[in-house]
Amino acid sequence: MTQANITIEDIPATAAGVTAKLVKFQGQLDESNVDEKAKIIYALLEQFPQNLYLLFDFEELEYMNSKSIGYLTDWYGKVSEGKGKIVISKTRSNILDILQVVGLTQLINCYATLDEAKFALLQPATLPS
C-alpha cells in the first residue's frame, strides 16, 4: 500500500458551538489507500455533523488521484450541509494543478500559509451567529 497519513488536531475556536480541526495530509493518496484513509475523515464528520470547520494542510501531500478528489468533494458537501467550512492550505504546485483542473478550487479556497487559512476559516463572518 502506498504510504499516506492523516492526522488531526484541534484548532482553538472562539465561537461557541464550533469545532475547528487542523487535518494534516502526508504522502500519496491513490487507489491502494484512499478508501481506507477516507474513513478517518468520515469518522470526524460523523462525530461532528454540525458546525465543523476544517483546515486541510496539504503541505506534505505529494499526490492525489481522482477518487480522492471525489472524497474531498463529498466532504465539502457534508460539511457545508452542517453549516461548517473547509479550507486548504500550503498545497504543492502539482496538487493545486489537480484541484484546479477538476474545478475544486471554485468550491474550496486554497491559501498559501497556515495563518491565512486559519484566519479565513475562523473569521467572524463565516462563523455561526
What is the contact surface with another protein in residues (CB under 8 A)?
Answer: 1-2, 28, 30-32, 63, 65-67, 69-71, 73-74, 91, 93-94, 96-98, 100-103, 105-106, 109-112, 116
Nearer to another protein by Cβ, of 67 and 83: the residue is 67
Q: Which three cell numbers stand for residue 88?
A: 486548504
Contact 129, 18 (CB under 8 A): no
CB of 11 to another protein, least distance (A): 20
CB of 43 to another protein, least distance (A): 17
Q: Which residues contact 128 (CB under 8 A, 6 or more apart)?
A: 15, 17, 18, 51, 83
